[in-house]
Structure 1
Amino acid sequence: MMDKTKIIKSGQEQAVASWINYLNQVRLNQMNEVLKQEQSNLNEAMATINETLNKISVDIVNNGKGRGGVKGMHGFIAEVSECGIGNAREQIVGKVPIYKWINDNGPDDLQRGNILIQQKFVNSGGHLSLYAIRQHFNQYPDYLDNNKAYQIPKDHYDRIKWLLSIPEEKANKMPTSTGEFSLKQWKEVHKFFEEGDIPFEKVEPSKLRYDEVQKGKYEETFSKEVDSLKKTNKERVAHAKEEAAPKLSEGVKATVVSAGIEGASSLCLEINKKRKEGKKLKDFNGDDWKDIAGATGTGTLKGVIRGASIYTLTNYSATPAAVANAIVTASFGVADQVYQLKQGQINEQTCIENSEMLCLDASISALSSFAGQVLIPVPIIGAVIGNTVGTMMYQIAKDNFSSYEQKIFEEYKESIYLVDKELSEQYQEFVDEMGKDTQMFMELLDKAFAPDISLAFEGSIELAKSCGVPTEEILDSKDKVTAYFLN
């Protein structure tokens, strides 16, 4: 007769394991989606870089004698590079490109979102591109009235910002012989922004320095940018994997839910047990409720251990959830048997036999769980379960019990190993013998169905003899054949 309580408990335990496995799978699926997206982001960014390099090569550098000539070519390279690198940096973090090269010889060179930009990359005279901005602003005096800005090389912007931070008293005392500081340049920068018609807030830095966009240098600049984009991708991938790693909060959640499920299950089963004894719920006395509370508390504690153990095993030792659950279940059972052995309630043989059955039940439960998820042919199921039981019992004893109990289980494991070895040798002998018989049988078949009639006749006689047909029933002569078919 089937033990319904045992089936219910086993189902509840496997349900906890499946739920924890589901949590793990959801986390891993999310990580895989993120990794796919990061790879797509990298591919798009690299495609943008390649398109930008091609545009610079075809439309600027190799456009006849070079667009803009020797002195102005770097300006066009800067405009295209700013757009290409800017878009690639957006794409590598999963955003849409926002830069556009206007390329119409008008007052605007490029666009970033809804902001129009006039870019100036001028190094002559040491004016830090400010003189070029002034010339453009004189031509378009209302340029900054709308959502527009000026853009200069990053190194020019950084120097301007540094010069603006130096007060006049300090500037008049700073040495100029080293070339690091120029009082003339300091005065020019301060005068430029003190006039007020072009606020410092309307001047922004490019992503590139002046030297990085020169004809003989821009390819190296893009090579460094590619390395930077790949580094960003690796960092984002590493972050995604870190985010998908097992977390204490999720482990606590799994533990709490497991404790709640197992505690509730124990509560219901214990009440049901009392009801089967003939008691109605209203007739439960203090001892009954004490038993129920004890069973519920024990179940809750087991649930805590089960949830924490399964979560740890599945995430940190690559153990399948069903196997992890089987290990926990078997550990509880074997620990109880060892406790009874220590109390003198059972002997060593009974302890071994009961532990064996507990591990067998846990192994079959795990195997059944696998079979319920994936159809797997198991031609040597007996050997698998036998070996699993022996290994599981020994492992539980080795990790948790004293030397006395460990010795008992180790001796059991050794006996299982010897039996397994003997059975394996017998099995191999059987396989070898079957191989020889099969080969002989195939040779007889070939002979029995040979094209040569006389050879086939002899072969059929030998085949019949090998199959155990009585000699008097074998058609081994012309007279017997004639009598069989005509009489």
Structure 2
Amino acid sequence: MNTHTPVGDQLLGSAVDALNQARINDELFHLTRQDIAFDLATEQMQKVRDFVASPGNILGSMSTKHGEIAEQVEVAVRNSHQALEEQLQDGSTFRATFEGVGRTAPEDYRIDGFDVQSKFINGTHNNLKAVLEHMDSYPNFGKDGSFYQIPKDTWQEIRDILDGKQVEKLKSSTIEAIKAKVAEIEQQTGLPFDEVVRPGVSDYSEVQWGKIDSTLDKHDRELAEKNDAKRAEIVDNHQPSLAEGLRATAMGAAFGGAFALGTGIYRKYRDGKNIFCGEFSTEDWQDVGLDSLKGAAIGGVSAGAIYTLTNYASMGAPFASALVTATKGVASLTLSYQRGEIDLDEFTDLGLIVCAESAIVGAMTAAGQALIPVPVLGALIGSVSGKFMVAVAKNLDGKARKALQAKMEAFANQLNVIEQQILDRILAEFAALGDLTAAAFNVENNRQLFEASITLAQAYGVEEDQIIKNADDLDAFMTA
């Protein structure tokens, strides 16, 4: 027994299927975590809506309530985006928090454990003035890692002024006053302005009482778009890949080589030579080694083809494994037929037998839950086997095709009308799969896998004349 038998291919198919299923399960796991994270993110934004819904509980007049609103938005937006980025499952690790902060404390909230004072004042100069007034009241603020946050657009305007950019609608005297305030902040703290005063997530206008609802709607849309992008990224990261295809190929090669080695040793043992008693000659080792190399090559190609079919042709592992078995078997028979080693009748009969397993799996897959009468099975399997032969034997001559077609018609003639309908439906399902061998052994799909296998063999010190490097070498191994 070797790895190009139906049993070997089905074992490889099961292993490849397990590899695929592990990837699918991991995708579902991360999608579920992303859904939970998105729910947590939307909960943070809902807290702001609940806060705004009770204006009587917000400090200040209607014209100054935006100060506390800005604080709520800052914490909620930061935490909601953190939830999505890190797939948080609860809020225990949020970096922004109001916990442990008094409502009239020097700080308004904490970010990454540092105290933050929010200053949302109308006018850039006035905003900086408010920062300095707070520093007068709390001289250590801004020096110990604590910092101020001001409106995003206000901070950008200051940054543009410091960078020497043109700022519209500001008088030169106002610009000079702003520069003086920045210098004073840096002088008092001994730190760069950007470390002491940082931009918030909101512009000044976005947190005003009449604008806050539309601002929250905007943030909700951004969260939804970001979540969709994260989900798409998860799906994309769990698509079939070259790396995973290489793992499948390597797994198949390891299985094929080990299986061939074991059967080779057992075959020698039956011939009276025990490897453990030092009875192997140099020729025996060469035989076993060559069989192992062939087994590894066939196992790797088979696993790669099964991986391609299950992932790119939407085919179940049993069906894909059966197709790979049929492809290799018919390829060998075709070569024997072309060499004159078997005649036409033997070729078609043996080919139908080789394809029978694939036909049975394919018929059952396509039929689904339909009840197929037992008397029909033989003719049905024969018909589908013929379909497989036509699909996988691309180099059949006209005479062979006609003989095969005649056998398929003979099978079909044995069926009554209802049974013929069953067969037609199965064949239609089969046809819908398209060119199966093109999918399994597509050059574009498998070229990189093939090239990588050469590099792997060279890395392991396999002799150059024993490495499959081209189609002729592959054909020799497949038909040996």
Structure-1-length-normalised TM-score: 0.74
Deviates more, 1:231-240 or 1:10-19: 10-19
Other-structure match for 2:119? 120
Other-structure match for 1:469? none
Other-structure match for 1:423? 415
Q: In the alignment, is residue 70 of structure 1 matched against residue 66 of structure 2?
A: no
Equivalent pair of 2:9/2:324 in contact (CA under 8 Å): no
Instruction: Write the distance in 2 (CA, Å) between the matches of 1:225 and 1:426.
Output: 61
Q: In the alignment, is residue 208 of structure 1 matched against residue 208 of structure 2?
A: no
The alpha-carbon distance between structure 1 residues 403 and 364, as it changes in their structure 2 partners (threshold 3 A), is: closer
Equivalent pair of 2:3/2:260 in contact (CA under 8 Å): no
Other-structure match for 1:135? 133
Deviates more, 1:254-263 or 1:282-291: 282-291
Q: In the alignment, is residue 52 of structure 1 matched against residue 48 of structure 2?
A: yes
Equivalent pair of 1:394/1:413 in contact (CA under 8 Å): no
Instruction: Write the distance in 2 (CA, Å) between the matches of 1:225 and 1:348.
Output: 72
Where do 1:163-178 residues align within 5 Å?
163-166=161-164
Equivalent pair of 2:121/2:127 in contact (CA under 8 Å): yes
Matching residue's letter, 1:118? Q
Q: In the alignment, is residue 301 of structure 1 matched against residue 297 of structure 2?
A: yes
Equivalent pair of 1:155/1:209 in contact (CA under 8 Å): yes
Q: In the alignment, is residue 197 of structure 1 matched against residue 188 of structure 2?
A: yes
Where do 1:378-393 residues align within 5 Å?
380=373, 383=376, 387=380, 390-393=383-386
SS at match of 2:117: strand
Equivalent pair of 2:45/2:80 in contact (CA under 8 Å): yes
Matching residue's letter, 2:66? H
SS at match of 1:197: helix
Other-structure match for 1:267? 261
Matching residue's letter, 1:212? E
Equivalent pair of 2:4/2:299 in contact (CA under 8 Å): no
The alpha-carbon distance between structure 1 residues 389 and 112, as it changes in their structure 2 partners (threshold 3 A), is: farther
Equivalent pair of 2:257/2:293 in contact (CA under 8 Å): yes
How far apart are 1:46 and its partner, in Å?
1.3
SS at match of 1:141: coil
The percentage of counterpart residues that share the same residue type is 24
SS at match of 2:176: helix
Equivalent pair of 1:213/1:221 in contact (CA under 8 Å): yes
1:343 corresponds, among 296, 318, 339, to 339
Matching residue's letter, 2:163? S
Deviates more, 1:387-396 or 1:103-112: 387-396
Matching residue's letter, 1:237? R
Instruction: Write the distance in 2 (CA, Å) between the matches of 1:128 and 1:380.
Output: 89
Where do 1:147-296 residues align within 5 Å?
147-166=145-164, 179-195=168-184, 196-198=187-189, 199=191, 200=193, 201-278=195-272, 291-296=287-292
Other-structure match for 1:324? 320
How far apart are 1:127 and its partner, in Å?
1.0
Q: Find the structure with the greater CA-based Rg.
A: 1
The alpha-carbon distance between structure 1 residues 71 and 22, as it changes in their structure 2 partners (threshold 3 A), is: same
Other-structure match for 1:401? 394
Equivalent pair of 1:56/1:80 in contact (CA under 8 Å): no
Other-structure match for 1:28? 24
Equivalent pair of 2:119/2:130 in contact (CA under 8 Å): yes
Equivalent pair of 1:267/1:292 in contact (CA under 8 Å): yes
Other-structure match for 2:444? none
Matching residue's letter, 1:340? S
The alpha-carbon distance between structure 1 residues 428 and 386, as it changes in their structure 2 partners (threshold 3 A), is: closer
Equivalent pair of 1:359/1:392 in contact (CA under 8 Å): yes
Equivalent pair of 1:390/1:412 in contact (CA under 8 Å): no
Instruction: Write the distance in 2 (CA, Å) between the matches of 1:157 and 1:410.
Output: 82
Q: CA RMSD in A?
A: 3.2
Instruction: Write the distance in 1 (CA, Å) between the matches of 2:236 and 2:3.
Output: 39
Equivalent pair of 2:344/2:400 in contact (CA under 8 Å): yes
How far apart are 1:295 and its partner, in Å?
3.4
The alpha-carbon distance between structure 1 residues 239 and 367, as it changes in their structure 2 partners (threshold 3 A), is: same
How far apart are 1:253 and its partner, in Å?
1.6
Instruction: Write the distance in 1 (CA, Å) between the matches of 2:3 and 2:370.
Output: 24
How far apart are 1:315 and its partner, in Å?
0.9
How far apart are 1:396 and its partner, in Å?
4.4
Structure-2-length-normalised TM-score: 0.75
SS at match of 1:116: strand
Other-structure match for 2:76? 84
Other-structure match for 2:468? none
Structure with larger RCO (C-alpha < 8 A, sep 6+): 2
How far apart are 1:365 and its partner, in Å?
7.7
Instruction: Write the distance in 1 (CA, Å) between the matches of 2:9 and 2:396.
Output: 30
The alpha-carbon distance between structure 1 residues 347 and 88, as it changes in their structure 2 partners (threshold 3 A), is: same
Deviations 1:382-401 (A, max 9, x none): 75675455435434444543
The alpha-carbon distance between structure 1 residues 426 and 388, as it changes in their structure 2 partners (threshold 3 A), is: closer
The alpha-carbon distance between structure 1 residues 144 and 264, as it changes in their structure 2 partners (threshold 3 A), is: closer
Equivalent pair of 2:412/2:420 in contact (CA under 8 Å): no
Other-structure match for 1:442? none
How far apart are 1:286 and its partner, in Å?
6.4
The alpha-carbon distance between structure 1 residues 283 and 366, as it changes in their structure 2 partners (threshold 3 A), is: farther
Deviations 1:82-110 (A, max 9, x none): 12222212222224433234462222222
